[in-house]
Amino acid sequence: MPGTLFEKLWDAHVVRQPEDQPTLLYIDLHLVHEVTSPQAFEGLRVANRRVRRPDLTVATADHNVPTTDRSLPIADPIGAKQIDTLRQNCVDFGIQLFDINSPEQGIVHVIGPELGLTQPGLTIVCGDSHTSTHGAFGTLAFGIGTSEVEHVLATQCLPQNKPRTMLVEVSGALPEGVTAKDLALGIIGRIGTAGGTGHVIEYAGEAVRGLSMEGRMTLCNMSIEAGARAGMIAPDETTFAYLQGRRFAPKGAAWTEALAYWQTLRSDSDAHFDRTIRLDATTLEPHVTWGTSPGMVVPVTGCVPDPAASVSDADRRASERALEYMALTPLTKIQDIQIDRVFIGSCTNARIEDLRAAARVVKGYRTRSSVSAMVVPGSQAVKRAAEAEGLDRIFRDSGFEWREAGCSMCLGMNADILQPGERCASTSNRNFEGRQGRGGRTHLVSPMMAAAAAITGHFTDVREWEFK
């Protein structure tokens, strides 16, 4: 029977399939971080349980770490205690930790792929909703809560009900200046933030094939913003070229064997999807969110919508609330919106290609004097690579701050937050009320769009940019 990529991965990981009960699914890789794991480890201790497969478990500190000088002690005692707790748990349970001063430290969804831990065909979970990122490699990867983190630590398995499948097929090639981020926002704008609920999305089509691994990760990363359980892309030559030679990638004969398996990981041409969405990449524009949900998004050439034109009463009230929070009036041109802050970072857009794209825009310009801008590389490895290429100089010379790796202002658990009323062009994934700091106003954009806004002080169509 023909199957989808998702079904093949699912079937390959069934440990047990009792009738009228969830499937017991095997988990190949469990990524752990400081914020959603302490209560899980505590649960193991209380029940006198061990970690079943510490060798399939990898930890890092990313969510609350400071992005300033790492040689200094952490100023926030509660944050510091959480990191110390992770350290102790990793020692007690024998788990490999890429600690705050490790050269491999970084956002968990950046370092997994970069270390070659993320490989096609695996099931990967993490106590973080953006685990969908790893689907870019043809893995089944999804976010879980802390009770499920404890479950995987104890058993290396998870009872799961089988999600439905959705195909998002994107024809044509993305125009210059239109990126994977714009594609992700365009899809969410089309299907809504609950459009993918209960589904695993497979992204396919010419535009998806044409994306680099970094672009594919950006696209899969935001699957959760469409409500989906996971996002995935069938592995191909781009995937294999990215992985070859990475630290944990198979070597020698194991590589050849793995490759032969990975090449079978694709949906059959006549596979059935529960739902199919088709988009034309050639008509896509750079996108900017205007509200407090990622689905509240329009092209950069557009205007803030008028709530009066909403399709339902609930939508109208949600739009009115969002506009009030965002201090925007209906029909304002997106390019007339002035910004105060720029954040280039997060598991969505802080990989080397993202920083290259932003630096290309910034090069030879100065940030607007009213704008405070920062770059937070996704990992220490991304930071080193960027510095080797001189990207840090480009950013610094133009007025950007250049920071240490972590989640930073994507969620503002550390000191990197917006002040009340500040408006930010951000390459992160969520524009929720207060996400980047209480009273802060977030507009989600691509790295190029964020860079352009830092220079002009307002949203600017990067397709018309004069590169220097």
Partner 1 sequence: MKPFRTHTGMVVPLDRANVDTDQIIPKQFLKRIERTGFGEFLFYDWRFEPSGELKLSFGLNQPRYRGASILVTGKNFGCGSSREHAPWALADFGFRAIIAPSFADIFANNCMKNGLLPVTLAEEVVAAIIEQALSNETYELTVDLEARTVTDGRGMSAGFVIDDFQRNCLIEGLDDIGLTMLHESDIAAYEAKRAGRIL
Q: In the window 378-437, what residues touch partner 1 (CB under 8 A)?
A: 411-413, 420, 430, 432-435
Name the 3-class secondary structure at 220: helix
Using CB under 8 A, which of 315, 320, 389, 422 touches partner 1?
315
Size of the site for partner 1 (CB under 8 A): 74
**CA-only gyration radius of the chain, Å:** 21
Using CB under 8 A, which of 32, 157, 174, 326 touches partner 1?
157
CB of residue 432 to partner 1, shortest distance in Å? 5
Using CB under 8 A, which of 2, 94, 103, 145 touches partner 1?
145
- 246-265: contacts with partner 1 (CB under 8 A): 248, 261
Residue 10 or 465: the one with the smaller Cβ distance to partner 1 is: 10
Structure tokens at 348: 């969505």
Name the 3-class secondary structure at 75: coil
Residue 13 or 216: the one with the smaller Cβ distance to partner 1 is: 13
Q: Which stretch binds partner 1 (CB under 8 A): 116-124, 206-214, 359-367, 371-379?
A: 116-124
CB of residue 410 to partner 1, shortest distance in Å? 10
Residue 20 or 464: the one with the smaller Cβ distance to partner 1 is: 20
Q: How far are the Cα atoms of 3, 251, 364, 394 from residue 259, in angstroms, in the given order? A: 20, 11, 43, 39
64 residue type, one letter: N
Q: Which stretch binds partner 1 (CB under 8 A): 35-43, 238-246, 332-340, 366-374?
A: 35-43
70-100 burial, b at 16+ Cβ within 10 Å, e below that, comes to: beeebeeeebbebbebbbebbeebebebbeb
- Spatial contact of 348 and 426, defined as CB atoms under 8 Å apart: no
Distance CA 255, CA 262 (A): 10
Distance CA 24, CA 107 (A): 29
- Given the structure tokens 């900017």, which residue do they identify? 288
Name, in order, each residue with C-beta under 8 angstroms of 121's C-beta and a sequence gap of 6 or more: 9, 12, 138, 139, 261, 262, 265
- 119-138: contacts with partner 1 (CB under 8 A): 119, 121-122, 127-129
Structure tokens at 362: 């910034």
Structure tokens at 328: 């925007």
Residue 151 or 181: the one with the smaller Cβ distance to partner 1 is: 151
351 residue type, one letter: R
CB of residue 341 to partner 1, shortest distance in Å? 17
Dihedral in degrees, nearest 10, Cα atoms 116, 121, 125, 130: 70
Residue 165 or 398: the one with the smaller Cβ distance to partner 1 is: 165
For 81-188, strand residue ranges (E) read 96-98, 123-126, 140-143, 157-160, 164-171
- x-or-dash pattern for partner 1, window 323-352, by CB under 8 A? ------------------------------
Examine residue 144 and tell whether it contacts partner 1 (CB under 8 A).
yes
Residue 244 or 283: the one with the smaller Cβ distance to partner 1 is: 244
Using CB under 8 A, which of 9, 29, 65, 168 touches partner 1?
29
Report CA torsion sign: 243, 31, 410, 397: negative
Residue 102 or 147: the one with the smaller Cβ distance to partner 1 is: 147
Distance CA 301, CA 36 (A): 40
How far the first Cα of the chain sits from its last, in Å, is: 55
Using CB under 8 A, which of 72, 78, 253, 308 touches partner 1?
78
Residue 209 or 316: the one with the smaller Cβ distance to partner 1 is: 316
- 440-459: contacts with partner 1 (CB under 8 A): none
Residue 81 or 278: the one with the smaller Cβ distance to partner 1 is: 81
CB of residue 133 to partner 1, shortest distance in Å? 13
Using CB under 8 A, which of 176, 311, 314, 466 touches partner 1?
314
How far is Cα of residue 37 from the mean position of the Cα atoms in its chain?
A: 19
CB of residue 130 to partner 1, shortest distance in Å? 9
- Given the structure tokens 């801008």, which residue do they identify? 373
Residue 146 or 335: the one with the smaller Cβ distance to partner 1 is: 146
- 166-225: contacts with partner 1 (CB under 8 A): 193-194, 197-198, 224
63 residue type, one letter: H
Residue 95 or 362: the one with the smaller Cβ distance to partner 1 is: 95
CB of residue 62 to partner 1, shortest distance in Å? 13
- Spatial contact of 63 and 411, defined as CB atoms under 8 Å apart: yes
